[in-house]
Structure 1
């Protein structure tokens, strides 16, 4: 459906939205401080203060959220399979059932994030999955593992959508890229730390407790501790941040209001679900996420087995896999730096990182039937594959910066994370036991998926460029004059979708 057919004019939502629509949290501060001018330097100072208070805990949270997903990939290098009696494709099912729980919980998770305090929902989610990780120590069979993995998926379902929402509470659209990439880069950083931790704990062999259980104990305890700290120190949004002065809260609210996406509303607006469904952006993003997560589902749980299949022992596998995480974390920071400095690189961040990933997977595939192929050369090619990890946080920034309306954003998250779950569920089953150790079928499918993702993200970019030009022709170019608050900012503070806000323009 063409966007020109679904964008109403400002008159459609009321000439005076303050009288016809319910305002967001922080609206009183927004109105009271409209005449308050602040400089670019003051804005940057507030952003730095937010970084110092928020980012350390956010990074710890998201890093642990990632390693708690992939923890089985380390445990399987030890006696995990034997101790639980896993045979055939039971490990694949144990890997995938996490995402069944993740999928089943998406609607309730996003509903809770919208209707209640985002910060508190995230904290309770962390505490819950930390307890579930520790309970893996008491697991002795396949049935128990399936149950724990399913409920782990339910508990972790709030993390990524909650972080998209929480980041948008605090930062401008331009700032969100670097902050999203910073906490997303913790996947690579904590994968390195987790691998080293597993390497050390894996050498514990003088007790009656299997070494893999120590991995679950330590990482589970860290998650519980992080949840407690988050509950104590992390506020909901700028308007109630105690670490900011009254003047700083006013500036922080004005900064976020300028995104034309509001701050926080607790109302669930069902009409915005329809806006989500009929928006072409939604389906570009859903298809991109599905085809990028098919490779992710397999590589997350079978990556260590692929590396060991190149000819490395179990402890060597933990160590030689570390540069792969350096590639993902480093690529995120590099792309974030470019995207912050130059406009129009968000969608390129969904395309560019796939090029080295395709080169790496092609090299691994091309040498799969060559016995004389150097294992170190193939390992370097495998490291390059992980550059695709950059595309996920860039996809999240598209949601955080281009989807307005709190319920619409929540509904978009539901659909995206359903696709996320479906891809991760299916991915491990392409790594068939009969294909080990080369896994040629899985590598072929990964290569095809990466190519499809390039075409999809290019289509999304073209669509948003055309939509922006159409809006400029219909409503005129949006210009902000000094001392004047554009209508689009006020509309955004009344929880309208970008399809309802004539001043809204997509960032590419």
Structure 2
């Protein structure tokens, strides 16, 4: 199918509206296509579009941010619990804590194909709702743990429950926002990782002082986070709409505008058909492999730093409570970087690949400084400042998600790309903790050196991705002509609303 479209002679002659509709007759259209047909995209003013966008923001963003923040702190909560005798109470020895950290990602990795399939075929909002309820129950299940075996089971199931969240959020954001708007919204909900990490670190600091009760201090961490997760899941179940055309908080006219806004992405809204040929489109797309390389070499460090970051800081010479407090600015760097980069992307546009690469520079500088000051007697607070800089790499992950959400068209193709991306994400986070070997504690020189090399390789992958998309956009302009009038855009929007991939749609241009 893609070969037929891409083989069109240059210069491209766009079909008339009736011809374009006839060519797509009999093919299944996306959710909201009837509303798309009701009005021309120019039938509403920019002011009306902004008013609808504000209503969508007000209704969706608070719960999206709350859920994604909980998603992050729930899976890293064990990194705080370990500071309050979690390992001792469960009798963990040797590499058992590393295996427990990695087991979450075994469940996450194993369930990715199924997770992306059901997100493609069924209602995204409902799947996310039941997912967060399930993982909230599993967080509460930590309170009954007695040994390593029980911990492994809980962590594996937690990975399964959380496997739908990131691909689901990429999909859900793309259903309601234009490509330009998605960057800032993705940065906002992704920034909740840092914000919730700060709040949860302070919460853990307070809970760690609770003694002489039936529950051990680390149990309160899982109790509070588990209850919040269950509550969040039920809020999603009852208040979050599935697609713009079914958003009850919008009037019919506003629903039409909401659909027209998203149709301009040329990526459709939501389709439920699984298209086998789009699997091949995902595999043969060079973008896929540049993205996978980038994810591999940023998430290998992430897997280790998430589980062992507190122990690395304590290795500088701090006790448990000071380690928790000193680790907070790392989360400030993470959350702050996401908001700042999201603002610049919203204002200037086309900063997505720059957002993947530029934040790696302070991370590389920070990890290099930590490495260079090993055994030098350097001031430990200076080393802590360098360590804080490392967390600037965290902003690259939501930018990767925006690249997939905005540059991979075709619902099945995007699901397959997300599957491959998150399998690499899971595998890298499984392997990451094992960079931090017990015999290297507390300085972990080998891990720090390896992370430095990996960040440099990731930087190169991000640069190559940007170069490829620039070259491809220029090639399409030469072959098909620029997409600079409404008729051409409408053709691309119709193709998008009929679930055509970016390789099939000659009007599609990559955003950088």
TM-score, length of structure 2 as denominator length? 0.96
Shift of 1:11: 10
CA distance in 2, matches of 1:254, 1:87: 57
436 and 164 in structure 1: CA distance in 2 versus 1, 3 angstrom threshold: same
Q: Secondary structure at the match of 1:378?
A: helix
Contact 1:8 1:500 in 2 (8 A): no
Aligned alpha-carbon RMSD (Å)? 1.7
CA distance in 1, matches of 2:214, 2:77: 21
Contact 1:8 1:499 in 2 (8 A): no
Shift of 1:8: 4.8
Instruction: Work out which of the residue numbers 190, 198, 201 in structure 1 matches 2:207.
Output: 201
121 and 413 in structure 1: CA distance in 2 versus 1, 3 angstrom threshold: same
Contact 1:177 1:336 in 2 (8 A): yes
CA distance in 2, matches of 1:236, 1:18: 25
> 2:347 corresponds to which residue?
341
1:82-93 residue pairs with structure 2 within 5 A?
82-93=88-99
Instruction: Work out which of the residue numbers 468, 479, 482 in structure 1 matches 2:473.
Output: 468
Shift of 1:7: 3.3
> 2:121 corresponds to which residue?
115
> 2:317 corresponds to which residue?
311
Contact 1:180 1:393 in 2 (8 A): yes
1:406-485 residue pairs with structure 2 within 5 A?
406-481=411-486
> 1:173 corresponds to which residue?
179
CA distance in 2, matches of 1:148, 1:217: 14
Shift of 1:17: 3.9
218 and 19 in structure 1: CA distance in 2 versus 1, 3 angstrom threshold: same
1:400 and 2:405 correspond: yes
Show structure 2 runs of 5+ residues with no match.
Answer: none
262 and 120 in structure 1: CA distance in 2 versus 1, 3 angstrom threshold: same
> 2:257 corresponds to which residue?
251
Shift of 1:39: 1.6
1:379 and 2:379 correspond: no
List per-residue Cα deviations over 1:407-466 (Å, max 9, x = no partner): 000000000001101110110001011111111111011101110011000000000001
Q: Secondary structure at the match of 2:268?
A: coil
1:181-330 residue pairs with structure 2 within 5 A?
181-330=187-336
> 2:60 corresponds to which residue?
54
CA distance in 2, matches of 1:495, 1:94: 41
Shift of 1:480: 2.5
1:492 and 2:496 correspond: yes
265 and 317 in structure 1: CA distance in 2 versus 1, 3 angstrom threshold: same
Contact 2:5 2:505 in 1 (8 A): no
CA distance in 2, matches of 1:56, 1:69: 21
1:30-45 residue pairs with structure 2 within 5 A?
30-34=36-40, 37-45=43-51
Count of residue pairs the alignment pairs up = 504
1:98-177 residue pairs with structure 2 within 5 A?
98-177=104-183
Q: Secondary structure at the match of 2:508?
A: coil
Shift of 1:339: 1.1
Shift of 1:18: 3.5
Q: Secondary structure at the match of 1:223?
A: helix
Contact 2:170 2:402 in 1 (8 A): yes
Contact 2:14 2:491 in 1 (8 A): no
CA distance in 2, matches of 1:107, 1:76: 32
TM-score, length of structure 1 as denominator length? 0.97
> 1:363 corresponds to which residue?
369
CA distance in 1, matches of 2:468, 2:6: 15
> 2:87 corresponds to which residue?
81
Contact 1:304 1:321 in 2 (8 A): yes
Which shows bigger deviation, 25-34 or 102-111? Answer: 25-34
Contact 2:303 2:433 in 1 (8 A): yes
List per-residue Cα deviations over 1:289-345 (Å, max 9, x = no partner): 011000000000101111111111101111111011000100111111111111321
Contact 1:17 1:494 in 2 (8 A): no
CA distance in 1, matches of 2:499, 2:325: 48
Which shows bigger deviation, 165-174 or 301-310? Answer: 301-310
Show structure 1 runs of 5+ residues with no match.
Answer: none
